[in-house]
Every structure is written in C-alpha cells, then in structure tokens.
Amino acid sequence: NAGVTQTPKFQVLKTGQSMTLQCAQDMNHNSMYWYRQDPGMGLRLIYYSASEGTTDKGEVPNGYNVSRLNKREFSLRLESAAPSQTSVYFCASTDRGLNQPQHFGDGTRLSIL
Amino acid sequence: AQSVTQPDIHITVSEGASLELRCNYSYGATPYLFWYVQSPGQGLQLLLKYFSGDTLVQGIKGFEAEFKRSQSSFNLRKPSVHWSDAAEYFCAVLTTSGTYKYIFGTGTRLKVLA
C-alpha cells in the first residue's frame, strides 16, 4: 500500500513564487492534515480537513491556502512564497475514531531563496 | 491550553543501555496519547498509543510507555537500545473538543553510541 504520498519531495523557490504541494492517501481516511516541521519546534498544524468538503485553520495558517479536492487529495498552496516558509512539510491522514493514529507522508523539503 | 512538553531535546545512550524519553501533557479531558518515531528524511511512524485501560502499553520495536495520570506523563521506555533506534521521537496528544487535532511535542533526538 502506498499510504500517504506527497509530491514533490524537494523544491527550491524564489521569494514571491507560488507553489502547490500535493498530498494523496489511499486508505479511505476522512481527515487530512498539513504540518510544517522546523528545527526545535516539532510539528505545527497549518490546515486540516476533518472530512471531504471542509477545511479549517490550524496553528500557523498565514501565507497558505488548502483545497480538499476529494476524499483522497488535500493540497497546500503558497501564493507568494517567503523565506520564512522554508521548512519541511508533512501531510497526514487519519481514519475515523478516537484511537486512530495519524499516517504520515515522507515530507516535502521546501527552500525559499 | 493543551500542550505537550518533551523536556529533553537531545539524549545520548550507549548501545545496550536502557532508555527513557519523557513526555508531559496538559489536557483537561481524558487524553489519547501517541509516540511517533522519525528517521532522517522520513515521515513519522507510530510506535504506540494509549487510549484507555492498561496504563502500560506495548509498541513496536520493543518500546513501551506508561501513562501516569497523576503526573500527566506518558514516558517512553526501552530496556536495551539498538544502534538502529537513533532517530527523533515525538509525543502527541489528540484533542477531542470539536474536531480532532493532534498536538505534538518538540521532539527528542536520540543518539546511540556503539
């Protein structure tokens, strides 16, 4: 099983450029999440989608937008990239239920010059 | 506010030694707790979870964790560390007020000496 697939794995952008990070899961999970991981700060939630058709802001949403395209896909868009958005981005999905863990993709390493 | 604290940023142990990684949480309701491991260049992988019942939970790779409500802790342990355990470890709590969200600690990076 592929699980959670993120594309691309690496990307370098210039300040002001736009970019969409793609995420797809094949586990029929209802909830999907986008996190950023920065040294010493753990994972911080950017946006999440509790179910198809809904999205909500997390802890650090500024500068990002998301689209829950269908049950499988949840994309993250940077409209005008800034150096502060240099980070590793992780997508995760979760099945319905309280004791369900998150399943993570392998991450997208994004550098903004 | 809900939070997860991992007080140790780095821990170094010798191969074969025992390991304990600390995790403290702040959450008003019954906590649903998780430990994840992240190898370099990889995503996070679930080690174990606490939902209810027995406060000592077993996970993969020989790890276990003990939930102590009185101390608001969920420490991860392993009796004998292997070199392949070198990684970063994250504790997380699931918040269930409204929609489900996970709060992660800042992680503990484990180094294993041969």
pLDDT digits (tens, 9 = 90+) for B77-111: 999 999 999 999 999 998 877 777 899 999 999 99
Selected residues 69-88 of chain B with any CB under 8 Å from a CB in chain A: none
pLDDT at residue A4 greater than cutoff 90: yes
Sign of CA dihedral A33, A31, B28, B47: negative
Cβ contacts of A32 within 8 Å, gap of 6 or more: A23, A25, A48, A49, A68, A74, A91, A92, A93, A94
Confidence of residue A99 (pLDDT cuts 50, 70, 90): confident
- Mutation pick from B44, B48, B54, B67 vs chain A, by most beta carbons of A within 10 Å, is B44
What residues 26-55 of chain B have any CB closer than 8 A to a CB of chain A? 32, 34, 36, 41-46, 49, 51
Rounded Cα distance between B100 and A13, Å, is: 33
User: How high is the pLDDT of residue A110?
Assistant: 96
Identify the residue whose tokens are 């409209």: A79
Exposed / middle / buried, residue B79 (Cβ in 10 Å: 0-12, 13-18, 19+) = exposed
> Please, which residues 35-64 of chain A have a Cβ atom closer than 8 Å to chain B?
35, 40-45, 48, 50, 56, 58
**Does A1 have pLDDT greater than 70?**
no
Q: What is the pLDDT of residues A14-70, one digit of tens each?
A: 999 999 999 999 999 999 999 999 988 889 999 999 988 899 999 999 999 999 989
Read off the pLDDT band of A87 (50, 70, 90): very high
Query: Min CA distance, A67 vs chain B (Å)?
Result: 18
pLDDT digits (tens, 9 = 90+) for B31-69: 899 999 999 888 899 999 998 888 899 999 999 999 999
Nearest to A40 among B44, B49, B106 (CB): B106
Nearest C-alpha neighbor of B21 from the set B55, B49, B56, B63: B63
Task: Specify the pLDDT at position A104.
Answer: 94
- In DSSP terms, B35 is beta-bridged to B48, B91
- Rounded CA gap, B93 and B68, in Å? 14
- pLDDT of B48 reads 95
Contact present, B6 and B22 (Cβ < 8 Å): yes
pLDDT number for residue A69: 87
Is residue B106 within 8 angstroms of chain A, CB to CB? yes
The confidence band for A73, taking pLDDT boundaries of 50, 70 and 90, is very high
Comparing B27 with A78, the larger pLDDT belongs to A78
Taking the C-alpha atoms of residue A81 and residue A101, their distance in angstroms, rounded to an integer, is: 31
> Which chain B residue lies closest to A54 (C-alpha atoms)?
B99
Contact B43 A104 (CB under 8 A): yes
Chain A residues in contact with B45 by the CB 8 A cut-off are 104
